[in-house]
Each structure stands twice: as structure tokens, then as C-alpha cells.
Chains A and B, each alone.
Chain A
Amino acid sequence: MQIPHLLRRAGFGASPTELAQFQAMDFDSAVDYLVNYAQITPNLTDVPNIRPSYSGQVPSGQNELNNLATWWMSHMVQTNRPLEEKMTLFWHNHFATAYSKVQNGFLMYQQYQFLKANALGNFHDMLMGIVSDGAMLIWLDGNANKANNPNENFAREVMEVFSTGRGPYTQTDVTMGAKAFTGYSINSSGQGVFNPAQHDNSVKTFLGQTGNFGPADIINVLVARPETATNLATELFEFFVYPNPTPDVVQRFADVFTSSNYDMKAVVSAILKSPEFVSNQAYLANVKSPVEYIATALRSLGATATNNSELVTMTNQGQFLFNPPSVFGWPAGTGWINTGVMMERFNFPIGVQTSKENPASTLDPGSIVGTGTQEDKDVVALVSRLFPDGMPSEVTQVIQSATVNISDPALRVKNVVRLVMASPFYNLN
């Protein structure tokens, strides 16, 4: 049960082959394998179909956003470095930036690459890099923040959302921080550049310290704040383990954050190897986000591509990659479930299946599972393939008795897949 749990949390579930590969390892080795993904040669090299270079904020219609989201989903489904994509998803939510305002697929992809390259890197580098990220400069108006016209948007959110969280700062710190971040603009290749002539060189008092602060000074102050350590530790713990950890649990990982000099690999390793991670309290303690639900479903079926119907479902469940609703990102846990979302999840499994009614779909469970295989003959085996932890026998029995008499094997398989994925257990993480 620990390995499927690990693969769901630190990745997007697993195909049977992958599951067997991990089940041959002991738990800590499996964590090490996932965390040290840099040693694995990436199996995917395709790039999204977007504008090839920065060409200003010219909207390209919905296609560019759709292409980006579909492309990322297909990478979550197929990557041989699942934790890399999972952490990139974590950072995308942490530094939530949306196409709705950026209106430029090149910049969104550039930010994605930055987050991915630093996904288990150093948090100080990450925060410093995001200050001059092209998409972020548009998203939080950093490119409009000039010495003679300060704009507070980035200065507020870099504290409230990206580092310390609410608490240690006042409106004066926001105003002073905004002055310290003045002077960025976006160059013709889409990179943020700092122009000293547009920087406010006045003396600022920020979080109790006084000086002619620039962007790096503010970032240094913020990263070193104890609130940043607890904020990041809490966010990561809730993402990987369970909601509402006690302060003493959080402090252990906040200490790793500080003692490792903000090394995210050290923090994530410590969380995944902690007793809390494999505790009963953690097991199925989260609701799968729409992206996790869909990616897990496709990965467990061994999909090799994604199509637009998955994207539509993701959107209807309230989550669109590269387009979060605000800088606060998406909800978590039970924030994802309501009657409308439950209905979307009842119906999603139809969209991934080839049938007479839906010939365009990319998945054909009949061909994936095969005919005449054990799964095909045995409904119980198919259920446990899709949900390797073991569905409660009472639920399996309902699925079995509803499908066992369907004589067409392909149709029987499709029905089982639909019912498993519609079940409450499959919707938990």
C-alpha cells in the first residue's frame, strides 16, 4: 500500500509496469529514486505548439493556452521523472500565474521551464529568479513598477503568497518593498531586465531594516524570515501528506529548510521519508485535484497522448493548467468537491474511452488491457490494476455484479474502468 500511495503523492500514479518496477524497491530507495530524478534521462523531448518567440502581448486566442495545457498533461501522464512534474505543479500553484492576463504562451512556457529547472533546487534562487521572470512581470505588474510610478502588486504578493505569508508585514512594508522592486522591464526576447535609471534609490525601511534596498536585498530579508520556513514547510507538507499538521510537525521540516540553506530536495526528501507520510492519517487523506485525477487515470491506463476532452473535463472541474483563477492558486482538499464536480467525475471516464459514440478518443481500454488477459476475464483483477491499494471488497462486489454478465469483453472492460474511476476511493489521493 505504501508504494501506490507514494506514487500517487510524489507523482501521478503508475502503470502496471511502473508499479512492478517500484515494488521491487524498498520504500526509502523508491523515494531516493524519485527525488534524484536528475539522474534519469528524460523520456520526453517534445515541445508545446506555441509562438516560437516573445512577440509582445498579442493574444493568440484559446489555442495557445489549450496547446500548453494539453502538452503538460501529456507529460504528467508519460514522464519517467514524475516527481519533477509534480513539484513543477506545486510551484505553478505556489507562484500562480495565469495566461488570462499574461496572454503570451512563450512567456508562460518560459516560466514553466524555470519552475521545472528549479523544482527541487534552492528556494532563494527560485524566489530571486521569479522577480525578473517575464510572465511574472506582467502578471503582477512588475514591469509597470517604476521609480516615479510605484505599483504595489508584486511587493504585496511576494510576501503574502510567495514567502512569509500574512503576518509579519504592514502596508508600509508593501509600499517600501514596491519601491525596492522598481526598475524592471521586459526585453525583446521576453526576459526581465533591470534598468537602474528606473529604480528608486531612496532609503527604505523594510521589515525593520533600513537601507537603499534593491530587489536582491528584499529577497534576502524574506528568505531568511522564520515565517518563510514555516510557510513553505506547511504548504509542502499539506501537498504531500495531510491537511492541518500540528506546529511541531511543521517545525521539523521548517528546520530542514533553514539548516539546508533552503534546499528543496532536502525538505521534500525529509517529508516523503517521515513517519507522517506513511501514517494512517495520511492515507487517502486528500482529494485528488482535477489535474491529479485525470493524469492518474490516464497514466494507470497507459495512455500515450491526451486530447481535448480531458482538457474540457479539467476545466469543468475548476482547474485549467497555466490559467489559475488568481495569484492564490487553486483550492486544496475538499475545496475541490461539490455536487457539480462529482458529476463531472462520474462522467469523465467516458471521455477517455474509445467507443462507437466517441471514436476520436485516444484510449481504447480493450486494446490496452487486451482481450483474453487476466484483467479481461476477471473484473476483480482489473479493479485492482486500476486501484492497486485494493478497493474495499464491498465496492468491488457492486462493480463486479454490475458488469460480470456483459458478454462483450470490450464493453465489460469499459464499464469497469468507468465505475472504478467514478468511485469515491479513486477520487482520493
Chain B
Amino acid sequence: MKTTRRDFLKGLAASVAVIPSLAPLSLGPTVIEANDTAAASPLVNSSNRTLVVIQLMGGNDGLNTVVPYADPAYATNRPTLGLQPAEILPIDGNVALNSQLTGMMDLYKSNRVGIIQGVSYPNPNLSHFQATAIWESASPTMPFTNGWLGRYMDVANKLDGPINVINLQDLLPQVLTSQQSQALSFSSVQRFAVQPLFNGDTTTGSVIQQINETTCNACDEYNTLVNQMMGLGLNAITASALIAKAASAYTPQATYPNNDFANRLKLAAAMVTSNLNPKIVYVTLGGFDTHAGQKATQNNLLKMLGDGVSAFYNDLSAQGRANDTLIMTFSEFGRRVKENGNKGTDHGTALPQFMIGGQVSPGLYGTYPSLSNLDSSGNLIGNVDFRQTYASVLEDWFGIPQTDVLDTTYTKLTVI
């Protein structure tokens, strides 16, 4: 049976949606309200849980984020970039947070943060593009062209019926690319609505909807792209009403810093606390590729990260959603141990990941990589595989077997 775009839309609105069998037609977001969600999945009850991913783009210098301040090799390798005692917040006798991460430290002290140290994978890649693809697909050997979260989306869609995944940026990252659905992307609630052409124009929205519902021979001839465009167009119209409703029902219960990243987190809080019940909300923070003049740039970014996440957590906590939300950071790689001659750092390998939430088991995980025993490029040798983090998220947060998404079984961390 041929599934039409109109049928697909009906499916989305119904209480138990049918996943259409034709891939091109199903490349729309699955937008549903919370009471439409089906029963719990097998391992844990994840029905109200959200994963908020914060991607730090450009390769964050892990050594100046979670600082191995007691190791003499740190100061030796970082003559100008090394953080001084006044610039760190010690966690224990060995490692400290960069003092720009005061917000993160407050959360750490309240037992809300797990820090996974030395995260990497065998034969780490130093290209931004390739390393990003590796982290996003969860495959260092690159057999996957989609994303690990996209594969999770496909599994969850089968188990629970349609799930909502919200990407708060203009472009869709590979990590959210799936076979059967596409995350809902938008970056501004105000702009995510069909604007009237003139005062009193009440029909344009429905005419545009009609255009995108048109079936015609030519539409079939160029079926893949035209159908994708039409499906997305229809879903954009459907979703905009639900998003607007969700956003207007939200009032922040914490004071957020005034910057773009914090505004995105505020929007993320509006989505998490809404009856859209998103499984994943995706946010990015860019600018970490610090080949020269690193200190001021990275400090500024880490301050945005720490203060933003702190406000976000406190907001969710005040709204009773801290236990249903897990925040995970990642970046494509850390940076070279030895600083370069431009007060910057070149591409590196292992770096820490932050896991934040009401149900996180706090503390340090993994061991800090040695600053003396380096690989042939002068980079850290990681101790934790990033897929161990993913395995923990999949099984202990989302409650699905990791092998549904990953190529093999990885030893989980006890962070969740």
C-alpha cells in the first residue's frame, strides 16, 4: 500500500502512529503531545526522560577544562596556557576545574555532575570533520552514514511509537540522522510560524499546506526530493502550532545569562518541560578550535558553558524535571598536551565529558590520561572509549539494549 503524505500526517496526530514503510515519505519530524506516548520500554521506564546533548564544536582543550594541576608535566607543557592556582577550582588533590566553570562546580558540589576523564577511542583521528563524524556515528571505522542518536530514534519509534526529537539550530547534524524520521529543527519560536502576507491574511498557511499536499505525476517523477520537501513542509506547519503552544506555557524558574547559548538552553527548558516530552534536545556551542591565543577564547566559552548549564539545571530542578533530564557534553577531540608557539594548541585526542542531572551518580570516572606517556603525535592516550558513555546512556537512561544501536557491547560506566 502506498502511504501518502496526508496519511502520514494523520498517523502523527493519532494516538498510536504507524511508522510509514517508505523512507522518503517518513523523513519528517514526529511531533506528538505527551499523552500520546505509548508504554514503557523494556529495561527501565524511560517514558518521561530527556537527553540534552551539548556539542562543543571545534575540539575543546580538555587539559584546561578538567585540569591535572598536580602533575608537574602540566606546567612544563603549558608554559603560557597553564592555569595558575588562582585560576582553578580543585576537585581533589589531582584534578581541578577551570575557575571559569564556577556554575559547573556548584553543580558538582551538589552531587549533580559526573566527569568522565580521558574519553577517546583506538587510533584517534585529528581531522575536525572525520573526528566529528566518528563521535556522531559512534564508529571509528565509519561504516555508518547516519548518527548513533538517529539509530536510537529508529529503535524508540518502533518500541514506543513516534518520539519527539528537537534540534535547536539551523542545520541538522549527522548524529540525529535516522532512517525513519527526522528531528524537528528550529532556532526561534517566533520565526517558526507561517507569517501572514498582509494584515488580515488568514488563508496563506492553509494554501501552503495544500501545495505541499498536492499529488501529481511530476511530483512522483522527482519523488525523492519533492516528497521530502513536501513532507518536511507539512510537518513544519503542524509542528509550529505545537511548539508555539509549548513555548507560551513556559516561564523560566532560574535566571539565565544573557547570551545566545543561554537563550538556546532556555528554549531547551521550554521544550523539556512541555507536553511534547522530547526524548532528545540538541544544542551546540562553537568556537573551541583554539590554535592561537587560546586562553581568553576558551575561558569565555567555558564560562558560558558552566553558567548556562547551571541556570538550565536549576530551572529544570525548580520545575520538577531534574530527575527526568540528563545533560551530556561532547567535543570531537581534545587538544595537544604541549602548547604551540602561538599560545594555542593543535588538535589532540582524549578529553573529559560532563554528565549532569538529578539521577547522575556524581564523581570522577575513568583515570586521567598520563601526560608523560603520550602517543607518537604527542597526544594523550585515552582510558575510556566514548562508546562506553553511549552504552550507559542507551541502557541506563533510555532503557534499550546498547547493541540495538552500537556495533558491539561496551563496558558501561556507573555514571547514570
Contact = CB atoms under 8 A, between A and B. Distances in A.
B239 A339 contact: yes
A141 interface: yes
Nearest to B336: A152
Given A341-B185, A346-B208, A424-B226, A395 B192 contact: no
Given A141-B291, A341-B185, A317 B170 contact: yes
A287 interface: yes
A156 interface: yes
Given A153-B291, A398-B214, A423-B211, A325 B286 contact: yes
Interface string B97-125: 00000000000000000000000000000
Interface in B57-98: 57-58
A316 B219 CA distance: 27
B157 to A, nearest CB: 17
A148 B188 CA distance: 47
A197 to B, nearest CB: 15
Nearest to A153: B291
A150 B214 CA distance: 59
Interface in A131-148: 141, 144, 146, 148
Among A350, A414, A424, residue most surrounded by chain B Cβ atoms (within 10 Å): A424
Contact of A398 (B194, B210, B230, B341): B210
B127 A166 contact: yes
A326 B289 CA distance: 10
A393 B215 CA distance: 11
A334 B226 CA distance: 11
Contacts of A325: 286
A347 B217 contact: no
Interface string B126-165: 1111100000000000000000000000000000000000
A328 interface: yes
B198 A355 contact: yes
Contacts of B167: 338
A339 B29 contact: yes
A149 B376 CA distance: 18
Interface in A295-326: 316-318, 325-326
Interface in A375-429: 392-395, 398-399, 402, 411, 414-415, 418-419, 422-425, 427-428
A424 to B, nearest CB: 4
Contacts of A151: 291-292, 340-342, 344, 346
Contact of B197 (A340, A341, A414, A424): A414
Contacts of B207: 398-399, 402, 419
A337 B232 contact: yes
Given A338-B185, A341-B185, A392-B217, A318 B225 contact: no
A356 B198 contact: yes
A141 B344 CA distance: 10
A174 B217 CA distance: 52
A337 B342 contact: no
Interface in B196-216: 197-199, 203-204, 207-208, 210-212, 214-216
Contacts of B197: 350, 353, 355, 414-415, 418
Contacts of A171: 126, 376-377
A266 interface: no
Contacts of B346: 151-153
Given A149-B340, A414-B197, A339 B184 contact: yes
A128 interface: no
B285 to A, nearest CB: 13
A156 B226 contact: no
Nearest to B126: A171
A355 B204 CA distance: 16
Contacts of A326: 57-58, 128, 289
Interface of B: 28-29, 57-58, 126-130, 167, 170-172, 182-188, 191-195, 197-199, 203-204, 207-208, 210-212, 214-219, 222, 225-226, 228-230, 232-233, 235-236, 239-240, 286, 289, 291-292, 340-342, 344, 346-347, 376-377
Given A347-B195, A402-B203, 7 more contacts: A141-B291, A144-B291, A144-B341, A285-B225, A326-B57, A337-B229, A338-B184
